[in-house]
Amino acid sequence: MADTRQVVRWSLERKCTFRNGDRWFLPDQTFKQLADFRTVAAAEGDNRNVNGICVTGWTTERDNAGKVQSIPVSGFRIEDRLGPFGGLPMVLSTCHLCEANAKGELGVEVAGCFGYLDVWPDSEELDKQLWTIIEQRHLESRIRSAFPLTTPLWYGFWIESPLRRLQAEVLHELLNAACDYADPKDKDVRHFLNALDTAIRWELPVHVSLSPLGHTDFGWYTVFPHCPRCKANASVGRWKENYQATAYECRVCGHEFNPDDHHSMERDDFDWDANSLEKQLGPMAYQQFIKSFLLQRGCSSGQVDEVVDNKNNGPLIRRIKATRRKRNGTLRRLRQRVAEKSDGDRPSLLSFAIADDIELEMVLVPAGEFLMGSPNADQVPSEAPQHPVRIYRPLYIGRFPVTQAQWSAVMGRNPSKHQGDPRLPIDQVSWFDCQDFCDRLCKRLQRVFRLPSEAEWEYACRAGTTSKFAFGDSLLPTQANFTPFIQRFGMPPDGEEDAVRELEQLVESGPRHDAQTTPVGSYPPNAWGIYDMHGNVDEWCEDVWHPNYDGAPNDGSAWLEGENTEVFRVMRGGWCSATEFVCTSSARRQLRADAGSPDEDIEGEEDDGGFMESLFDLMYIPNGFRVVCECP
């Protein structure tokens, strides 16, 4: 869920046994063919090649003394990637003799013929610095004859590819002088300077490519409208009909083009699990590999056992088990007591006084049957297979998500990020927090309160409908607190241009909450009188997370299979900054049971310039919940 950077990729053109195929000399093709070579060589120096496997990705875990250790999570068998080329020794030997291996003093042992530059192309400071150097060194005439002039200047360096000799010489002098002002440890810039020097000395073509701006979000990759000449963002702001019919002049290079022809949105089919060591080795062998990796990197056998237990969520699983035992005991006693006192009366709306002037309103949900999940299994496999579920007993569910006033009355504290109105939904609470709230509520009111099962939640959300949302197959900004796709990305989803014209008008004239939660009940209820089932806060369910519905119970009960090994639970409903695609009646996601409030020391950090707090703001998703009260 982040915007991509405009990265410059470069490659030196020199034929070798490792580079082949159509257009092998282009930066993207060179990256694809040689990246593994460099990865293996770097891992060899970093002690990450273990038992013939190159570890490319890792997470961290602490031992019981608090020392951080690396846990391998992804990698590949070295023989599979380098074996056809004679293995690492042959690769090293070949690259050492290659003129295009622009390693210089950087120590790039393998595949030094490609690299990248990661800067902010729109930086006013960078542009000012470059022009200062140009004036000091009297380079203006050479710059004008070598490159198309753009504003900012940086974009013009990458329009033509491969670079001509004059371009390589001027760029080398300019960037080399710029390095006097930049971080001398910036190895990417130094590497590129070595490549330019190599290209000049050996008369090798150097190919360059600047990527356009884009955005990744929940499995989709969007390339923003951009200039096809210099790759600068078109800055159209929002999808407009006139942009599809008229030319647009690039603010950077002056090129005229139609933004409609230079943007895209496609499903990101990249297999993030392809290099998963657990999938490649199997669960048992993977556990043994972790131990071998840690031992090779200097851990004692005792540390290894501690780290592996923590990595396998041992403490968290033990906490889940303890919470389950406590809740089961409370629920068992209360169910018996409530059954003995039942008078059979079930009003459609039930209200509990949990404190002075603070009520908990519950809506009666009738017994019934529905189709759970989505029929569109190809696009959303986690919502499939769609299957019939029967809710055998009526139940009461919260008319609203639990509010901050209700939470504070029961728990005595308010961890929410968004505060100011007591009717705002509680957020930043974990699954454990919700269990604690329900347990206290049970004891206070002597009724059976719990989280809804995932099936109960979807049944109550749909309220008898079979459409994508409780209000139909589309969701409007006047119906829920979410962020419409067109508002977030400035363009409609592919193939839905006509369908979103009305939505775009509503976005412009409708309510705007800037990804903030809103007081419960601010939007219309569904057909059963239940509010805020779409958007506002994402809601915890009782169930253990499963990647799809294969084997799911069909009686409406919580799916707890795997609780002894699984720490992720189910979240439903979407949230205020999510698009409509994440707020459907069938949409679901997973979250660790202990995910809730940020670490207490985030606000107390004094040496990070607020970085951690800003990072938390970027990743923040409001986690809330609503409760179920069982009917006698």
Question: What is the model's pLDDT at position 261?
Answer: 84
The rounded distance, in Å, linking the Cα atoms of 486 and 500 is 8
- Of the listed ranges 41-45, 76-80, 381-385, the least confidently predicted one is 41-45
What are the residues whose beta carbons fall under 8 Å from the beta carbon of 72, sequence distance 6 or more? 48, 50, 55, 57, 58, 277, 289, 290, 293
Q: CA nearest 233: which of 154, 122, 117, 123?
A: 122
What pLDDT, in 10s, does the model give residues 189-202? Answer: 889 999 999 999 99
- What SS3 class is residue 560? coil
Give which of 441, 457, 626 is closest to 558, Cα–Cα: 457
d(CA 32, CA 39): 12
pTM: 0.66
Instruction: Give 141-194 pLDDT, tens digit per residue.
Output: 999 999 999 999 999 999 999 999 999 999 999 998 887 655 545 788 889 999
517 located within any domain: yes
What is the per-residue pLDDT for 263? 83
> What are the b/e assignments for 299-332, b being 16+ CB within 10 Å?
beeebbebbbbbbebeeebeebeebeeebeebbe
- Residue 563: give the domain boundaries: 316-336+345-600
**The most confident of 129-138, 527-536, 590-599, by mean pLDDT:** 527-536
**What is the CATH number for 434?**
3.90.1580.10
Give the rounded percent of residues in the chain with a pLDDT score beyond 70.
Answer: 86
CA 510, CA 487: separation in Å to the nearest integer? 11
Over residues 12-39, mean pLDDT: 92
Please say if the pLDDT value at position 443 is more than 70: yes
Q: Report yes or no on 377 lying in a domain.
A: yes
Establish if 332 belongs to a structural domain.
yes
Residue 607 scores a pLDDT above 50: no
DSSP 467-519: SSBTTBSS--TTTSB---HHHHHSSPPTT-TTTTHHHHHHHHHS---TT----
CA separation for the pair 529, 349 (Å, rounded): 9
- Position 173 in a domain: no
DSSP of 361-391, one letter per residue? Answer: EEEEE--EEEEES-S-TTT-GGG-S-EEEEE
Q: What is the DSSP string of 521-540?
A: TSS---TTS----SBSSEEE
Residue 11 lies inside a defined structural domain of this protein: no
Query: Taking the alpha carbons of 175, 178, 184, 188 in that order, is the dihedral positive or negative?
Result: negative
* Each residue's pLDDT tens digit, 552-577: 999 999 999 987 788 999 999 999 99
Q: How many domains does the chain have?
A: 1
In a domain, 419, yes or no: yes
8 A C-beta contact, residue 371 and residue 466: yes
Structural domain contains residue 476: yes
List pLDDT tens digits, range 509-519: 555 666 799 99
**Does position 605 have pLDDT exceeding 80, yes or no?**
no
Q: Does position 315 have pLDDT exceeding 90, yes or no?
A: yes
Statement: residue 377 has pLDDT above 60: yes
Residue 32 lies in a domain: no
How confident is the model over 218-251, as pLDDT tens digits?
667 888 889 999 999 987 654 444 444 457 899 9
